[in-house]
Amino acid sequence: MALRYFFALFVIQKFIKYLNNMKKVTLFLLGLVLVFQANAQNSESDKVKRACMDYIEGFYEGDEAKLKRSLSPDLLKFGYWKNKNSGEFASAGQMTYEEALNYAKGVKEKKNFPEADAPRGIEIYDVDDNIAAAKVTAWWGFDYILLAKVEGKWMIKQVLWQGPLKKKEGS
């Protein structure tokens, strides 16, 4: 009887140790999955950020190649500009993909580049499997950007912008 009791205790102790080890292994594996998932998410966020930076730099530098790399040919870009005399916002109309490329071409030809310290802000709001949202701050104001993954590449599909950029107090 005593032998059975000790054997049962021995088996229970081994089983508890086994469960504790399995818990550690399970937690370790769960941690690895979360790390890899976070890295994959960061990788996609980095790609979205690169598309947004190509957008800013394309307009700033007059670099059509950067715009072609970041803008979808079916781009829909709408904006609102504040009239400095009336203080009212008015629609600035739509800019198409071709108009964006022509604008960049004009910047380069006229060497109409912004100052070196012009804003280049990018805030990534959300990145999912096939869609993403971001906000870009540039010399002209700020843009809300919607992107889609097209053939594995993040492309800007829609932009809604407002300008001019508000001056910071003391500037």
Looking at domain 33-163, does it have CATH number 3.10.450.50?
yes
Domain ranges of the chain: 33-163
* Per-residue pLDDT tens over the stretch 28-60: 555 545 555 555 556 999 999 999 999 999 999
Q: What is the pLDDT of residues 111-168, one digit of tens each?
A: 989 999 999 999 999 999 999 999 999 999 999 999 999 999 999 999 999 999 887 6
H or E element in which residue 160 lies: strand 153-163
Do the Cβ atoms of 46 and 54 come closer than 8 Å? Answer: no
Question: pTM of the prediction?
Answer: 0.74
Q: Which two tokens stand for residue 131?
A: 């869609």
Question: Could you give the angle at which helices 97-110 and 2-61 cross, rounded to 10 degrees?
Answer: 60
